[in-house]
Structure 1
Amino acid sequence: MTVRNLDALFRPKSVAVIGASHRQGSVGAMVWNRLTGGGFAGPIWAVNPKYDSLDGYATVGEAGDLPEPPTVAIICTKPASWPSIIHQLGGHGTRAAIIVGETRSDEDRLHLKHALSAARPHLLRILGPASLGVITPALCAHLGAPACTVKAGGVAWVSQSNALTNAVLGWADARGLGFSHAVALGDEADVDAGDVLDYLASDASTRAILLEVDTIHAARKFMSAARAAARNKPVLALRSGRSDPVDELYTAAFRRAGMVRVDSLDDLLDEIETLGVGRVAAGTAATLITSDRGVATLACDAFRAAGDTLAPCSEQHAAAIRDALPRATPGNPLLLGGDALPEHFGAALKVLAEQHETGTAFVVHASTHNAPAEQVAQILIAHQRYAYRGLLACFFGGISLATRDALHAHGIPVHSTPRRLARAFARLVDYRLGRELLMQTPEGLPARVPEAVDAAQAQACAALQAGVTELEGGEAARLLAHFGLVALSPQQASKSGIVDVKVELRDDDNFGPVFRFTAPSDDGISPPLRRYGLPPLNPILSRDIVSKSAHARQMDPEPVLAALTSVSQAVCDIREIVGLSLVLRVMTDRVAVVEPRIRLSATRSRLAIVPYPRRYEQTFDWHGQRLSVRPIRPEDEAAHRELIGAMTPDDLRLRFFGAVRGFDHSQLARMTQIDYDREMALIATVPNEDGTTRTLGVVRAVSDPDNETAEFATAVRSDQKGRGLGRLLMQRIIAYAKARGTHWLVGEALRENAAMIGLAKACGFTVTSTDDPSVVGFRMALDEPEE
């Protein structure tokens, strides 16, 4: 995974068009005209030996003749020329290139392979081939051949389809909507969807990401990038092909990443309006404001169909409405009456502002003689500040372009029908719920003692050494028993339970090991429930799967959740398991395994999501205590809160560079729920008398997507300082970063933090100055040979 030099594509300072042309209809002419006509303010060069100048711009014969290295080059020539062009650009210092042309033959693909090899020594990034290009409207940078110029907005568009990208850009332009960036990925020979998601996750100009993909090429990279992006902003995904056998797996992957899957292009387009224009804090409820009862009925039907919930109207709320609007009918929907005036809509928003439980405000209006749409729109603009959870509008019959643009300028999305408005809001709610699922703290389960896991590992390895690749019956049950799973004997298995859940594991070519869960319908007629899941699972994620079953209300969920989580742990810990099939028989008070079969192999694909890395666990005697150093887990949230609570205000200020009173659940979840593929937090714990553990200190390192640099930070309980714990943790995070192949470990501290500066020096860091005179930096090269 890498975002190296992607800023060149999204924030170019200068551009060269290789193969720029005057020939009407040629790719070189389309790219050149779009770049020069878009208003890009930086230097522009044309490269074509047939011209001395092009539209008043100086033209050179070859890329190597450019007067200075362009930030990005757009290549419009044939594949045979790509390797030499990339070699010249890379040697000149260009950081990125967009290849517009396609590969149509094996010979073309060989030229592409050589071009990628030529780019690698220079770290030059290549988008494409077959890419429509990259557009950054805020810079008037239209790099490629989009069908129209693009306005600036808050949503990023990322697509594998050139035709769909052009269609969406045209659709948005006709409606006065814009984008922060628009990217057509092309064939993804180098830059792919995961790379772009990683960049956009931290792009300040992008409030939301709309993604259209058919195939994910690098599942682990994609999942890691998507989870990071979805924690920061809404990510909505469209994938066509519902009849595709693996489509349900994509649905599971999107949900696991915290993304919202949309069903159609119409839905995705509506989100350009909702997310690109407005700043809506989607709760679980909303209040509908309208003047007409028929319109209200249509809107309520749309909300119910979308799964949205209209907020209840309390007696206090109703009384406030009657005082402010005597002719209105309190409730939800709030009916202002057929003779309502524009100012009544403003008064309604003002009343709702005092009742926070009313949620997001929806104004659905059909123009009347008393309340013309344009006048109502102006009232909404004037009273928008009262809609504390956001305001969305729907005007039947449409509004003028000037009115629409005025609403957009004030951050009010406008939809053409109640159905579109309701579905757009429902997807925001889905994002919030999905993000909450990512941030949930799983219930703690009894930890598997290392000896049990080692015994299961030994059984799998012994079987393979003996030439056995399948375990069935008792042998399979014996391996699973190490993870707390109890199998039924054939006599016991004949007894019925509430439901049988079939669990299968297969090694997918892209996503690696994936689960498929199948449960029968409750009526025996409807199709069975099928769900995919990506390991590792925990009880929270397992509950999300179990809750969809028609039998969920009949069962005690806890044994089911524990069993699913244990099966997942077996797969994560025993890498020799490449296939699995068993039935979980759910009974009133327990769950048992029936007919287990396990397939073994010496090699297995990588998991798409990195599981808890048990190999970094260590336990040893330390100052008369049994100290464990291990990676942090989501279940450590309560202990982490106690760690922070045990630090003095001054220690907290030195650690977090400012006054800190405490952290809420969301902030603590970010500290304890980490993506082990790009981040590590090692905690030092000791046991309490009641069997719980106490966290004494933590050190973490967060790597950039290139694994070039990792930034570290450490904290130790104030009552444990001076005992060498900080140095112990620092030594382990340095060893971890070295083993991972990270090149540099860096950090910062307040200049007054003498203890941290002394620790860094003692561990071998170089202390440097920073742009802030009150802050010092630490830097250590990890790939230098030790003396």
Structure 2
Amino acid sequence: MTTLYFVTKKNLEVSIMGHHYLHQLLAAHTIAVFGASEEPQSIGSLVLSNLIKAQFKGKILPINAKCEKTQELTCYPTLEAALQHSGLHVELAVITSPADTVPSIIEQCGAHGVKGAIILSGGFSDTLQGKRLEQNFMEAAHHYNMHIIGPNCLGVIRPSRGLNVTYSRNQARAGNLALVSQSSAVCTAILDWAEPRNLGFSNVITLGDATDVDFGDVLDYLALDPLTDSILLYIEGIHHVRGFMSGLRAASRMKPVVVLKAGRYEDGARAATSHTGALVGRDDAFDAALDRAGVVRVNTITQLFAAAEVLASGMRLQQNRLAIVSNGGGPGVMATDRAVELGIRLAPIENSLMTALNKVLPKQWSHNNPIDMLGDATPERYEAVLKLCLANEQVDGVLAMLTPQAMTDPVGVAEALVRLKANTKKPILACWMGSALVKAGREVLFNAGIPHFPAPESAIEAFSYLTTYRANQKMLLQMPSSIESSEYGEPDIIGARLIIESVLAEGRKVLSTTESRAILAAFHIPRLPTILARSAPEALVVAESIGFPVAMKISSPDIIHKSDVHGVRLNISSAQAVRSVYQDLMDSVKKQRPEARLEGVTIEKMHSSKTARELMIGVARDPVFGPVISFGTGGTAVEIHRDHAVALPPLNDYIIRKTIGRTRIARLLGEFRHMPAIKCEGLIEVLLRVSEMVSELPEIMEMDINPLLADENGVMAVDARFVVGYPSGAGRKYSHMAIHPYPIDLVRKLQLADGTDIVIRPIRPEDAEMEQEFVRNLSMESRYMRFMQALRELTPEMLVRFTQIDYDREMAFIALARQNGKDVEAGVARYAINPDKISCEFALVLADDWQGRGLGGLLMRSLMESARNKGCTMIMGEVLADNGNMIRLMTRLGFEKSRVEEGVVTVTKRLTDDAF
């Protein structure tokens, strides 16, 4: 039976698809250079010169009405004249002419079918006139479906094509590193730094003002670029966070990504009005985003290439236990100091390894890690020791260090490392200290692809990149839902939203104490009951009702931190004290803050625990990454302690434990001295509930739960404060978050016409094995029709792309049936949103035994509904003309045949409000 199938040209899920649109621009056969000039120092002249020097593998058409010839090439007055004379089709335009000429040039290019332009010209974002010009050329680009790199950028280099359309003095070598930079100046510095080090590039792309093509687009392209093994990013700021995070996560699933970001200590961070806001800065949020994206961050250009080198080598870690082997004690100690600073564990030398080392080392060796083999260490001694370390189960990687002493053979030791590398999968790093005496040894290491470094600190940092990459790749696999299961049931999201809406309707932003407690209650966060008293007699009645001792706190929408105005009294244990404290609180606060509106005093039962730790959970709204959740030490001195860790929602158990573990107070949560360990499950539960809160309520701008008391019995929110506001943006669900949650709301339990129960749900990373088995079990014909080649099973890269998806811009629904006590995949449908953001392309394949039972229609309806909810107005695909089953299904679903070409039928459907 012929399978239902679909293959697209652009679908990002398929590794054998047609190229990304940027590849089609950067692999252009004909380039038009607007502003090409005879003036040696002009940008147009430098671009043209670079193209010629790079030996561009295509045709160059210089465009300039003021000259007839430049650099031995005919110069044309207009694009139309160039096309008529040459008979060529231009794929890429490079524009170096003044800003006021750019809109008309883009109009010309679009009218003649040019699909992309790189605008090196500047002068757009600085003035109102420049912004109007930018708006004009972007309107023309959108009209003609053109893509723009720039403006105000250095340009692009793709050495394998001989493409260098920059005004840089550098000609990049061909290699496997891709460099993407927001700064032209930094890009030229990196290129200059890389040249004497023989570092090569697959692509060098500068973004400039990024009016169209941004990080997300470039990362999508590089993720599937076969010439790119690892990606380097220089970032100054993020314009489109969701696109950035989507592209970054997609790329890092496929290959290592290393990020260098400027502005770690930005002075322009917003003024904070809460404890959390005072603690969480923009760089904290950026780090949290990179953690979730599976990438590695560095702080210098040297570290950028070191990280790229060690990650691109393919070396990976199981844990972070390092053995340091050296021919001198001092270098080993220096390496150890840096390892301790970075949290790298020195591998223990257990008894069997100690015995083995004693047999190959002099008696005076260090008998510890780092392993000092003494200054007369020969290549044979190095090889024997390193071989033993690499074979030991307690060692995850080795660092071989060498100083050029009298009896040292740098080349011989390097050759020993090369032999060892061939027989192990564990990381081997080298540190050859010195210069002239070790130069030949470094060349051996370089030629063998062994990462090597001139100093102990840089070698240890390189090993730390492996540990960071391992940890962040695990974070990348986490796909939390917005709502996690809880023994307390579903949160009352509607009730919480109604409270917030009523506050906003009154023109307020800060919730009262009782309103804040109500929000906590809606999300099942343990809290102390609080009652507002508006007079001293009323306070007495409340205190008597809930029982002594009580805590009394001033209630005012204008006072952010009650303790700052001495508005808190604790352990009040008598009726007489209640009345006097009430009046004292009112008088004292009125005197300090006469302008503040005082609602009264809240009264709550004292929470007594001799073993409680004071913690804080907060939420701050980062201007780029949206809500950021903070955890750390609580109390009145949180800004002094500054002990906190941050994470981007949504959270799950794994992410929460990692976040808690990064704080100093984490060491005090376990058992120590007379203090029992806290009930960690209760703390995790609260953080999960906070994650739900900020995911489902975009109106929450800031929140503090401080203190959150945690002991062996659980946790209790003693005080909470919320700041709310109207969310900005398109208003689509979860648009306020940088990371789209797993869409648990799209899980459906359905039944086929024959009574078979199935579950249709979005795919998850842990479905990889099931997806692989599904493809293996397809008939040969089905696999060929789905992938258009004799594919036996999915490659690792394809499996990653199939199962680790970005739910914001793509979707894959799998249909599951229960067979022999386990879930079996019966079919899968997927779409990817096109760059125009309003259309998408779909794919559908069913297992051979599940065809003709109505499953294809159910999957497609789920797919179309999801695409429509994401803002798509058109869904399209291409079907083989002889695939009658698929064509009949598409006809039943209302698709139209729009084109038949080379045995392929294009089917399209408008996603209207009509029911599917």
Aligned to 2:714: 590
Q: 1:170-190 CA distances to partner (integer Å, 9 max, x unpaired)?
A: 111121222222222211122
Gap change, CA 1:641 and 1:198, over 3 Å in 2: closer
CA contact under 8 A between 1:75 and 1:99: conserved in structure 2? yes
Counterpart of 1:472 in structure 2: which amino acid? S
Partner Cα separation in structure 1 for residue 521 and residue 824 of structure 2 = 31
> What CA distance in whole angstroms lies between the structure 2 residues aligned with 1:607 and 1:777?
40
Q: In the alignment, which of 639, 647, 654 is matched to residue 540 of structure 1?
A: 654
Partner Cα separation in structure 1 for residue 93 and residue 474 of structure 2: 42
CA contact (8 A) 2:898 2:907 kept: no
Alignment of 1:648-667 (within 5 A): 650=777
* 1:396 partnered with 2:429: no
Tell me the distance in 1 between the aligned counterparts of 2:873 and 2:324. Answer: 53
Matched, 1:530 2:644: yes
The yes-or-no answer on 1:7 pairing with 2:23 is yes
What residue number does 1:558 align with?
A: 681
Distance in 1 (CA, whole Å) between partners of 2:892 and 2:848 is 20
Q: Name the residue aligned to 1:281.
A: 316
Q: Please report how far the alpha carbon of residue 80 of structure 1 lies from its aligned counterpart in structure 2 after TM superposition.
A: 0.9
Kindly tell me the number of residue pairs found equivalent between the two proteins: 774
Q: TM-score, normalized by length of structure 1?
A: 0.85
Cα distance in structure 2, aligned partners of 1:424 and 1:460: 48
Q: TM-score, normalised by structure 2?
A: 0.74
Alpha-carbon distance between aligned partners in 2 of 1:477 and 1:128, rounded to the nearest angstrom: 50
Letter paired with 1:491: E
Letter in 2 for 1:736: S
1:105-184 to structure 2, matched below 5 A, reads: 105-184=127-206
For residues 178-217 of structure 1, give each alpha carbon's deviation from its aligned partner in whole angstroms, at most 9, with x where no partner exists: 2222222211122222222222222222222221212111
State the alpha-carbon separation in 2 of the partners of residues 622 and 54 from structure 1.
Answer: 70
Q: Give a deviation string over 1:591-647, Cα, whole Å, max 9, x none.
A: 23344444555544432222344653556777799978664486x95xx58977997
What letter corresponds to residue 65 of structure 2 in structure 1? Answer: P
Give the gaps of 5 or more residues in structure 1: none
- Answer yes or no: is the 8 Å Cα contact 2:879–2:886 preserved in 1: no
Partner SS for 1:216: coil
Alpha carbons 2:323, 2:398 under 8 Å: kept: yes
- Which structure has more relative contact order (CA 8 Å, sep 6+)? It is 2
Alpha-carbon distance in 2 for matches of 1:335, 1:44: 61
The alpha-carbon distance between structure 1 residues 700 and 464, as it changes in their structure 2 partners (threshold 3 A), is: farther
Aligned-partner SS, 2:49: helix
Q: In the TM superposition, what is the alpha-carbon distance from 1:422 to its structure 2 partner? A: 0.8
Maintained 8 Å contact 1:5/1:124: no
Which region of structure 1 is more displaced relative to structure 2, 667-676 or 278-287?
667-676
Shift of 1:757: 8.7
> Quick check: 1:222 aligned with 2:244?
yes
- CA RMSD across the alignment: 4.5
Q: How does 1:42-53 map to 2 (within 5 A)?
A: 42-53=58-69
8 Å CA contact 2:643, 2:665 repeated in 1: no
CA distance in 1, matches of 2:628, 2:230: 29
Matched, 1:236 2:258: yes
CA deviation map 1:721-749 (0-9, x unaligned): 87544432332223323443164454889
In the other structure, the counterpart of 1:611 is 741
- Contact 1:521-1:528 at 8 Å conserved across structures: no
Distance 1:132 1:660 in 2: 44
Greater mean alpha carbon deviation, residues 64-73 or residues 74-83: 64-73
1:677, distance to aligned residue in structure 2 (A): 0.6
| Shift, 1:538, TM fit | 2.3
1:765/1:429 CA distance change after superposition, 3 Å: farther
> CA shift at 1:405, angstroms?
5.0
Q: How far apart are residue 83 of structure 1 and its match?
A: 0.9
Offset of residue 109 of structure 1: 2.8
Residue 338 of structure 2: SS of its match in structure 1?
Answer: helix
CA distance in 2, matches of 1:652, 1:557: 50
Amino acid at match of 2:161: L
What's 2:574 paired with? none
Going from structure 1 to structure 2, the CA distance change for 1:715 and 1:436 (only over 3 Å counts) comes to farther
**Aligned partner of residue 242 in structure 1, secondary structure:** coil
* 2:86 pairs with 1:86: no
Quick check: 278-287 or 645-654, which moved more? 645-654
Q: CA deviation at 1:81?
A: 0.9
Deviation at 1:701, TM superposition (A): 1.4
Q: Which residue of 2 aligns with 1:783?
A: 910
In the TM superposition, residue 321 of structure 1 has moved relative to its aligned partner by: 5.2
CA shift digits 1:500-520 (9 cap, x unpaired):
444444444433333344534
> In structure 2, what is the equivalent of residue 424 of structure 1?
462
Q: CA deviation at 1:222?
A: 0.9
Three-state SS of the structure 1 residue aligned to 2:198 is coil
- Tell me the residue number matched to 1:21: 37
Offset at residue 237 of structure 1 (A) = 1.8
Match for residue 397 of structure 2 among 350, 360, 369: 360
CA deviations over 1:146-180 (Å, ceiling 9, x no partner): 23111122222222111111111111112122222
How far does residue 703 in structure 1 lie from its aligned partner after superposition? Answer: 0.9
Does the C-alpha gap of structure 1 residues 633 and 96 become closer, same or farther in structure 2, counting only changes over 3 Å? closer
- Letter in structure 2 aligned against 1:421: A
Counterpart residue number, 2:806: 675
CA contact (8 A) 1:349 1:386 kept: no
Does residue 57 of structure 1 match 2:73? yes
Q: Distance in 1 between matches of 2:777 and 2:308?
A: 46
Q: Indicate which of 492, 503, 511 corresponds to 2:605.
A: 492
**Residue segments in structure 2 that go unaligned for 5+ positions in a row:** 1-9, 13-18, 270-281, 530-602, 670-677, 730-735
Q: Specify the alignment match of 2:832 in structure 1.
A: 703
Q: Matches of residues 156-555 of structure 1 in structure 2 within 5 Å?
A: 156-244=178-266, 245=269, 246-275=282-311, 278-283=313-318, 284-318=320-354, 332-348=369-385, 350-352=387-389, 354-355=391-392, 357-398=394-435, 404-440=442-478, 445-446=485-486, 452-461=492-501, 471-489=511-529, 490-492=603-605, 495=608, 498-517=612-631, 519-520=633-634, 527-552=641-666, 553-554=668-669, 555=678
Paired AA for residue 263 in structure 1: N
Aligned partners of 2:520 and 2:526 also within 8 Å: yes
Asked if the contact 1:214–1:240 (Cα under 8 Å) also holds between the matched residues in 2, the reply is yes
- State the partner residue of 1:32: 48
Whole-angstrom CA distance in 2 between matches of 1:446 and 1:777? 50
Report the 3-state secondary structure (helix = DSSP H, G, I; strand = E; otherwise coil) of the residue aligned with 1:358.
coil
Deviation at 1:264, TM superposition (A): 3.2
**Any conservation in 1 of the 2:635–2:707 contact (CA below 8 Å)?**
no
Change (3 A) 1:211 1:525: closer
8 Å CA contact 1:767, 1:777 repeated in 2 = no
Indicate conservation of the 8 Å contact 1:579/1:598, yes or no. Answer: yes
3-state SS in 2 of match to 1:587 = strand
Whole-Å separation in 2 of the counterparts to 1:645 and 1:302? 43
Q: Which moved more, 1:318-327 or 1:484-493?
A: 318-327
- How far does the alpha carbon of each residue in 1:98-144 deviate from its partner, in whole angstroms, 9 at most, with x for none? 22222143323322221222222222222222211111222232221
Per the alignment, do residues 326 and 451 of structure 1 end up closer, same or farther by CA in structure 2, a change over 3 Å counting? closer
Q: 2 CA distance for matches of 1:272 and 1:524? A: 38
1:408-457 Cα distance to aligned partner (Å, 9 max, x none): 33312221111111102202210111111222476963288679434444
Q: Is the 8 A contact 1:522 1:550 kept in 2?
A: no
Give the letter for the 1:781 counterpart.
Answer: T
Contact 2:750-2:760 at 8 Å conserved across structures: no
Query: Shift of the alpha carbon at 1:256?
Result: 2.4
Show the counterpart of 1:571: 694
Q: Which moved more, 1:202-211 or 1:485-494?
A: 485-494
